[in-house]
Amino acid sequence: MDFIFIEELRVQAWIGIYAREKAAPQTVELNLTFGVPDAAAIRDDIADTIDYAEVIDRIRLELAQRHFNLIETLGEFVVDLLLNDFRAPWVKVRLAKIGVTKGVRRVGVFIERGRDADSAAAGGAQVPRSCP
C-alpha cells in the first residue's frame, strides 16, 4: 500500500455547539493520509488510485452542506467518506478548529481507521494473518 497525504487543507465548515457557531461557518484545517493501491504507481494510471483532487472537492462540498456539533462527528464523517465512498483501505484524519479560545492556536481530533482488520493493523501495512 502507498499513502497519499493532504496537509493543511482549509475548509469552511458548519461546526460547533454554540449559537454563534450555528449562525456562520468557520475555518477548519484538515490533515489527511489515506492508503492507495501500489498498482497505481506500476501502471501510472489515475484510474487505479484515489484522485486527491476529487477528495478535496468532495470534502469542501459536503462540509458546506451540513452542520456538526462536535469535531469528533465531523472527523468520523470525513473518515467514512474516504473508507466507503473513495474505498480507501486505511485513513488517518487530523482535524482542527483554529483560534477558538485565547492562548490556543488549534484544538482538534485525530482518527485512524482501516476498512478491515488487515488494513487497520500496523497503520495499514500488509501483515501476514498468522506467522508460523
Ligand X SMILES: Nc1nc2c(c(=O)[nH]1)N=C([C@H](O)[C@@H](O)CO)CN2
- Chain residues binding ligand X by CB under 6 A are 16-18, 21, 70-72, 97, 100
In the complex, least distance from residue 59 CB atom to ligand X, rounded to whole angstroms:
18
- Cell output for 60: 469542501
Is residue 97 annotated as part of the catalytic site, yes or no? yes
Distance of alpha carbon 41 from alpha carbon 38, whole angstroms: 6
Q: In what order do the strands lie in the sheet with 90-101?
A: 67-68, 2-15, 26-36, 90-101, 104-114
Q: Decide whether 21 or 59 has the Cβ nearer to ligand X.
A: 21
In the complex, least distance from residue 58 CB atom to ligand X, rounded to whole angstroms:
22
Distance of alpha carbon 96 from alpha carbon 105, whole angstroms: 9
Choose the catalytic residue: 22, 92, 97, 102: 97
Using CB positions, name the residue nearest to ligand X.
Answer: 16
Q: Which residues are catalytic, by number?
A: 97
